Amino acid sequence: MKQKKKNVGVSAKLITLPIIAVLLVLHVVNTILILHISAANTSVIDIMHKSDQYTQESTELVSGITTLSETSMNFVMRPDGPAAESVLGAFADELIFKSYRRSDKILDKFKTYDIPEAAMDKLEIAVEKSEEMFRTQKHAIALCLSSRENIEIDSDLIGYTLSAAEIEMSAPQRDGLAQSMLLSEQYSLARRDVAANVGTCNGIIQTNSGEKAEEISRQVRVERVVMWSCTIVIALIFLASAASIYWQIIRPLTSMAHAIPAGSTLNEEHGLQEVRTVARAYNVIYKRRESLDAILRSAAETDALTGLPNRYCFEQYVLESEKSESSAAVVLFDINYLKKTNDTKGHSAGDELICAVANCISTCFGKDSFRFGGDEFVSVVKDCPKESVAEMVKNFEKEEKERDISVSFGWAYTDKISDTNLKTLMQEADKKMYERKKNFYKGGGNPAL
């Protein structure tokens, strides 16, 4: 009869490697998309920021020529007034301290910007008209200044030379000519042309920026759809992986978790190959566990030097005694002069001292005596009146003297363990023990509790 082939299960490696590869690819794609979307959003912000910057800077041309126009008009209309010199000062301040608003400066700056050619054409027309206005302003101011010696201003700031015919004119004639120049229709049309062309330039820049931003935004929307698609695929892979993990790993392991405390062998036919391998390995170990447990338990719970139960055993003892209704006394011990013995007589002598103390403690206080660690011991006496515990303490002191050993100790008592706990009694005993030890080293004696 043909033997049925044993189902060895599917290897986790066979499943996880393709999943990891797919997730890695999707993660890389998502990362690239996120970075690109972030860069695109930054680019949109930069485009709109530059659009606002270009609009603001081109508008400075209108602000500058408007300020120059107003100050020159104020001076030409009242060239002999008390404020004439301050008005000219404002004109000079505009030229000197706000030179960035001058048409030539603005045009030079815009030549370095990436703006549509149509916007640049409109800006050049506006610059041309503003220069025309500026020349008219300087001409008008020069006419009014030519016969006014009471106004002190650097003529180089005006920079306009009158013709011979204009020099031959009288002061009122020059004033009238200056006013007619600034009030002319040509001057007014130039001013409107500056504002109109700058406005058109700004509109072209903003439209162009909006189109660029919209084009990038459309691309970002497509990339976001791809990114979310990748994210959904990743989520589905995780869900499928979670389902596989549950059926092939968690469920078999849960079954093992119930079988192990029950002391039974594990099912080797469920789960992934690795889970089944663990089950088989456990079943092999299970056959030898009982004999090893006894050896390990003894080693884990017994202090190798003194043969007394160790700290681990004491912790288990405390847990088992938490709800006890019996009385209890906890006695805590600390060997005196152990370090000195080790330093002067060697560690062998120190070990002998520890063993002697351990024997003395277990003799006086019974089997529930533990080596807590190093030079510390603890004993628990249950179901014993406080007076009897006091007698044990006196007997221990007597044994100390007879065996020529020195131990500092402290003890605490309770009528019912459930009213407190052994840990609390230990803390009380510890305080008394350290107080006794302090007095011992301080006074050279061994005072009673």
pLDDT digits 0-9 by tens, 211-233: 999 999 999 999 999 999 999 99
Question: Minimal CA–CA distance to 33: which of 230, 214, 218, 215?
Answer: 230
123 contact partners, CB below 8 Å, separation of at least 6: 58, 61, 106, 107, 110, 197, 198, 201
pLDDT tens column, 188-207: 999 899 899 999 999 999 99
pLDDT at 125: 92
Same domain, 37 and 170: yes
Put simply, whether the predicted model's pTM sits higher than 0.95 gets the answer no
pLDDT of residue 154: 52
Collapsing DSSP states into helix, strand and coil, what is residue 414? strand
Give the whole-angstrom CA distance, residue 433 versus residue 315: 20
Q: Are residue 316 and residue 218 in the same domain, yes or no?
A: no
Q: Which of 197, 223, 249 is the last residue of a domain?
A: 223
Contact 269, 7 (CB under 8 A): yes
In the chain, what is the straight-line distance between the N-terminal and C-terminal CA atoms, in Å? 84
Please say which residue of 223, 241, 270 terminates a domain.
Answer: 223
Please indicate, yes or no, if residue 7 is contained in any of the structural domains: no
Token look-up 């789960």 returns 271
Q: Looking at the domain assignment, is residue 94 inside a domain?
A: yes
Residue 262 is assigned to a structural domain of this protein: no
3-class secondary structure, 377: strand
Please tell me the predicted confidence (pLDDT) of residue 2: 45
Please check whether residue 260 lies inside any domain of the structure: no
* Domain-located, residue 125: yes
Range of the domain at 133: 12-151+161-223
The neighbouring-strand residues paired with 379 are 331, 369
Predicted confidence at residue 394, as pLDDT, reads 93
256/117 Cα distance (integer angstroms): 78
438: in domain:
yes
Residue 81 is predicted with a pLDDT of 65
Residues 194 and 327 in one domain: no
The set of long-range contacts for 436-442, using a CB threshold of 8 Å and a minimum separation of 24, is: 436/408, 436/409, 436/410, 437/334, 437/336, 437/408, 440/336, 440/406, 440/408, 441/336
The answer to whether 114 and 209 are in contact (CB under 8 A) is no
**What does the radius of gyration of the chain's CA atoms come to, in whole angstroms?**
51
pLDDT at 448 (0 to 100): 41
Query: What per-residue confidence (pLDDT) applies to 103?
Result: 81
pLDDT in tens for each of the 449 residues of the chain?
444 445 567 787 788 888 888 889 999 999 999 999 999 999 999 999 989 998 998 888 888 888 888 888 888 887 776 666 677 777 777 776 677 677 888 888 888 888 899 999 999 999 999 889 888 888 888 888 776 765 655 555 566 778 888 888 888 898 899 889 889 999 899 989 989 999 999 999 999 999 999 999 999 999 999 999 999 999 999 898 888 888 887 888 888 888 888 878 888 788 777 788 888 887 778 777 766 766 667 777 888 888 899 988 888 888 888 888 889 999 999 999 888 899 999 999 999 999 999 999 999 998 899 998 888 999 999 999 999 999 999 999 999 999 889 999 999 999 988 888 888 998 999 999 999 888 888 876 544 43
Number of domains, the chain: 2
Domain termination site, one of 181, 197, 223: 223
- Measured CA to CA, the distance from residue 256 to residue 254 in angstroms comes to 5
Q: Is the domain of 317 the same as that of 195?
A: no
In whole angstroms, give the CA distance from residue 265 to residue 152. Answer: 113
pLDDT at res. 447: 44
Q: What is the CATH number for 122?
A: 1.20.120
Sheet (strand 376-382) strand order? 369-373, 376-382, 328-335, 407-414
Q: Is residue 363 part of a domain?
A: yes
Residue 117 lies in a domain: yes
pLDDT of residue 308: 92
Alpha helices (runs of H) in 260-272, residue ranges in sequence order: none
Q: Is 194 in the same domain as 322?
A: no
- pLDDT at residue number 301: 81
pLDDT of res. 332: 94
Residue type, 353: L
Residues 214 and 361 in one domain: no
